Amino acid sequence: MKIKITLLCLIVGLLQGCSEKIDARQIQDIQGLVYRINTNDPFTGTITNYAPSNFKVFVRGGCDVAVEKGIFEGMTSCTLENGNKFLEISFSHGKENGELKQWDGSTKKLVLRVQFVNGVKEGRSQEPTATLS
């Protein structure tokens, strides 16, 4: 019985660690890796309230950034102070990889699509007029 309880606690702990969320004020960048302040291991989880200006977008709002072993990995989604989504991009090994989408914060219309491969813009930017639902 003790083994089952110990195993269950271990599994729950691992699952919680994988989905850990911390505020951007709790992180620091050390030689290109993201760490929780006062820790020795690169952070894995989600950073909330990450400044959009770090993505060279200057608006008021915040981003949720997926991080794995200190490197941006997975989907990043940014919203304005009013709660409207305005930016979405996927990262792989710390570089933009996939389609960047940007919406107009007040009309919710998709205003820009850009494809990235390994951090480099590929092809032409598109300016569609679809509305975010």
pLDDT in tens, 31-72: 999 999 999 999 999 999 998 877 777 778 899 999 999 999
* pLDDT score of 18 more than 90: no
| Residues whose CB falls within 8 Å of the CB of residue 6, separated by 6 or more in sequence, listed in order | none
Query: What SS3 class is residue 53?
Result: helix
Q: What is the pTM of this model?
A: 0.74
pLDDT tens per residue across span 90-122 = 999 999 999 999 999 889 999 999 999 999 999
Tell me: pLDDT of 78 over 70: yes
8 Å CB contact between 40 and 61: no
Judge contact between 110 and 95, C-beta under 8 A. Answer: no
Q: With 80 as the cut, is the pLDDT of residue 16 above it?
A: no
In 3-state terms, what secondary structure has residue 6? helix
Domain boundaries, the chain: 21-126
Query: pLDDT value at position 1?
Result: 53
